[in-house]
C-alpha cells in the first residue's frame, strides 16, 4: 500500500507540481517583462513630453504676454536644428559651438520675426495675426527647403551623457532621454525664478495683465514683448537640438507637427501658465507614447487630440489655466 502511494506521488503529483511551478514562474516572468516594457515606454513618454513642454513654454509665454499665437514657433525649432547640423556635421566644428550658434541664431530670428511681422499688427484683429503667423511658418519652411533640399539629413546627437542602466540592465535610460528630462525641469525652474525675481520678469507680468497700465507705469511694452519672443525662440532652439538628438532625422518640416503638439500641450496645461505648460507637455508625451505602444501608432495623434477635446469640454481653460473676466 505504501509503495503504491509513493509511486502515485512520483508519477502523478510530482510532475503536476513541477508543471504548476513552471507555469507560475513563466507568468511571473511575463509580468516582469510587461512591467519593464511599460516603465520603458513611460520614461520615453516623459522624455518626449519634456520636448513638448520646452516648446510649449515658448508658446505660453508669448501668448500670456503678447496675447497672440505664434504658429511659426515650430519652424524656429527646425531652424535651430539645421544650425547645429551645419556647424557640427557639415563644418566639423565642436558641438558646444553649434549649440551656442543655434541658440543665438534662433533668438535673433525670433526678435526679427516679432519686429517685422507681428509688431505692425499689434492692434489688429487676432485673425490678421494668425494668418501672418501661418505665412511666416510657410516662409521659413520654404527657405529651409531651398537651402537644404527635401532630403532627410542625419542629425548627430549633441548629448554625450552615458546611458543609465536600472534593475540590472533590464531598463536602460539613454543619455538623450535623461538630458532632455533634466533640461526641461531646469528650464522651468529658471523661468519661474526669472519671472518672479527679476525686474524684467515683473515687467512681463505687468504687460500680461494690462498693457495700458504697464505703459503708464513706465514699462517699455515693445521691449518686453521682444524679450519674450527672444526667450521663447531660444527655448525652441534647445528643444530642436534635444528632439533631433533623440529622433536623429532632420527635414524642413521637422518642427511642424511638434509645434502643433506643443501648442496642444500649452492649451492642455492652461495656456499662459508655465507649470501648466510642463504638466501638459509631460502628459501629452506619455499619452502619445503609450498609445503608440499599446494601441496603434497610426491613431496615436488622433488619441492625443481627442484627449485635448475632452479636457477642454470639462475645463475650457486647461488644467492650470485661469478664467479672466473681460473688462468693459
Distant-in-sequence contacts of 142-150, Cβ < 8 A, 24+ apart = 142/252, 144/75, 144/78, 144/79, 144/82, 144/252, 145/252, 148/82, 148/252, 150/251, 150/252
Which of 112, 49, 108 shows the shortest CA–CA distance to 234? 108
Binned average pLDDT, 10 residues per bin, the chain of 328 residues: 47 50 56 73 87 88 80 88 90 89 92 88 81 89 90 84 73 82 89 88 84 82 87 90 86 87 85 84 89 83 84 81 55
- Scan for cell 558646444, then name that residue: 96
Pick the CATH number of 33-314 from 1.20.1740, 2.70.98, 1.10.3470, 1.10.10: 1.10.3470
Amino acid 9: pLDDT: 43
Cα 133 to Cα 136: distance, rounded to the nearest angstrom: 5
State the pTM of this model: 0.84
Sorted by where each begins, the domain ranges of the chain are 33-314
Amino acid 109: pLDDT: 92
Angle at 54 between CA 50 and CA 60, to 5 degrees: 125
The secondary structure element, H or E, covering residue 95 is helix 95-113
Amino acid 68: pLDDT: 78
Amino acid at each position: 500500500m505504501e509503495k503504491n502511494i509513493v509511486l502515485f506521488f512520483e508519477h502523478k503529483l510530482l510532475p503536476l507540481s513541477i508543471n504548476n511551478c513552471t507555469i507560475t514562474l513563466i507568468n511571473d516572468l511575463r509580468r516582469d517583462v510587461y512591467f519593464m516594457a511599460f516603465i520603458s515606454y513611460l520614461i520615453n513618454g516623459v522624455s518626449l513630453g519634456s520636448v513638448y513642454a520646452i516648446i510649449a513654454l515658448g508658446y505660453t509665454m508669448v501668448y500670456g504676454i503678447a496675447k497672440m499665437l505664434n504658429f511659426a514657433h515650430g519652424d524656429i525649432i527646425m531652424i535651430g536644428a539645421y544650425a547645429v547640423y551645419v556647424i557640427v556635421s557639415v563644418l566639423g566644428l565642436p558641438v558646444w559651438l553649434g549649440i551656442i550658434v543655434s541658440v543665438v541664431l534662433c533668438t535673433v530670428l525670433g526678435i526679427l520675426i516679432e519686429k517685422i511681422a507681428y509688431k505692425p499688427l499689434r492692434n489688429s484683429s487676432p485673425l490678421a495675426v494668425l494668418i501672418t503667423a501661418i505665412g511666416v511658418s510657410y516662409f521659413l519652411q520654404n527657405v529651409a527647403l531651398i537651402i537644404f533640399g527635401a532630403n532627410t539629413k542625419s542629425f548627430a546627437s549633441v548629448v554625450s551623457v552615458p546611458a543609465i542602466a536600472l534593475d540590472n540592465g533590464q531598463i536602460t535610460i539613454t543619455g538623450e532621454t535623461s538630458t532632455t528630462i533634466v533640461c526641461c525641469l531646469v528650464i522651468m525652474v529658471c523661468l519661474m525664478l526669472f519671472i518672479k525675481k527679476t525686474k524684467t520678469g515683473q515687467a512681463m507680468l505687468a504687460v500680461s495683465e494690462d498693457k495700458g497700465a504697464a505703459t503708464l507705469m513706465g514699462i517699455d511694452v515693445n521691449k518686453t514683448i521682444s524679450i519674450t519672443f527672444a526667450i521663447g525662440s531660444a527655448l525652441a532652439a534647445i528643444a530642436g537640438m534635444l528632439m533631433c538628438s533623440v529622433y536623429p532625422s532632420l527635414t524642413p518640416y521637422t518642427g511642424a507637427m511638434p509645434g502643433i503638439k506643443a501648442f496642444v500641450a500649452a492649451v492642455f496645461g492652461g495656456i499662459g501658465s508655465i507649470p501648466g505648460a510642463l504638466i501638459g507637455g509631460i502628459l501629452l508625451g506619455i499619452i502619445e507614447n503609450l498609445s503608440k505602444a499599446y494601441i496603434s501608432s497610426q491613431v496615436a495623434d488622433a488619441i492625443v487630440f481627442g484627449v485635448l477635446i475632452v479636457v477642454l469640454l470639462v475645463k475650457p481653460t486647461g488644467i492650470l489655466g485661469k478664467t479672466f473676466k473681460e473688462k468693459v
